[in-house]
Amino acid sequence: MKIKEIIHVLEQYAAPALQEDYDNSGLICGNKDIDCMGMLISLDCTEAIIDEAINRKCNLVICHHPIIFRGLKKINGNNYVERTIIAAIKNDIAIYAIHTNLDNVIHGVNGKIAEKLGLQSCEILSEKAGNLRKLSVFVPEAGKEKLLNALFAAGAGHIGNYAECSFSTTGTGSFKAMEGANPVVGNKGERHLEQEIKVEVIFPSWLQQGVVKAMNENHPYETVAYYIYPLFNNWQETGSGIIGVLPQEIAVTEFMEQLKSTFKVPFVKHTAIVKDKIRRIAVCGGTGSFLLLNAISAGADLFLTADIKYHEFFDADGHLVIADIGHYETEQFTIDLLHDILTQKFTNFAILKTGQNTNPVCYF
């Protein structure tokens, strides 16, 4: 199995186009066309992780955080980033990062946190806009079913928990086949009228090439008439954070104890307890202060995240409880998430989870 086959599975789950502008997800180093001998999953990629990959005979490290965020002008081993890259290249180990694109899908990093908390009726806290396209294509009635099946197979027509969504209207199309044409219906040099169906489907922008290819290959006409429109709708399946509800209302102190147990943290940094009982919970793995106003607007009783600065705690302003349990701690189950995604696809392959805790923060 080639490394690129593994990458394909990961990018089907969380498309690279969903990463934030500042991010550097993707293949950091290595050759995607070589055989994968084993893969090691970690939250971070460090020198110790590369050593572990060598010892466990893995030539692919899959991590959440990219080891390189900015351009490197020199690679001479003066810091841990350069030393990690040097060690990986020397030992023919590829490094692949799947960061904010995995944050920005509903069943990604935040979905895993919500699962651990037992949240129900989960929704994206801040939905992304501008990632959807609409295809309108004109096809004769006899060709409609084959075309739709091909478009659905290419990933079009998926809305929330519904698949194979489309809309059709009937009308009359006209065309005149000129010299060199090979029309399926009508005669050359004559205007032809044909009862046609306008089929409309939506699809994620990054699937456009495949959707258009499927359309052209499964349409009966020699030249296909179609339009693609950008949509500015929010997409309910992608975006930042998650909000959901607990099965029942519980005391906030009991919830804090559950956080300590589930996430294995010695303590929880939090704002004043302004509500004795809570049920509606917002979460954001890693740095989440940018979502505080979204959590308040969504009516969250508590916002679970990390890396809240001193003055940002004031911004809760009595509306909800902020609970900060640490960056690594919120995202630690991403390792399990990636392992689950890959083992479901590759059932007879060495997919290993790191045995190391890469958290750079220690508690005394």
Q: What pLDDT, on a 0 to 100 scale, did the predictor assign at position 55?
A: 97
pTM of the model: 0.91
| pLDDT number for residue 350 | 86
Q: So what's the pLDDT on residue 180?
A: 85
**171 CB burial (10 A radius; 0-12, 13-18, 19+):** exposed
The Cα–Cα gap between 324 and 96 comes to 28
Q: Which residues of the chain have pLDDT under 70?
A: none
pLDDT the model gives residue 185: 87
Looking at residue 364, what is its pLDDT? Answer: 85
Would you state the pLDDT for residue 161? 85
Residue 12 near residue 154, CB atoms below 8 Å:
no
- Edge-to-edge strands, sheet with 351-353: 26-29, 94-97, 60-63, 39-42, 351-353
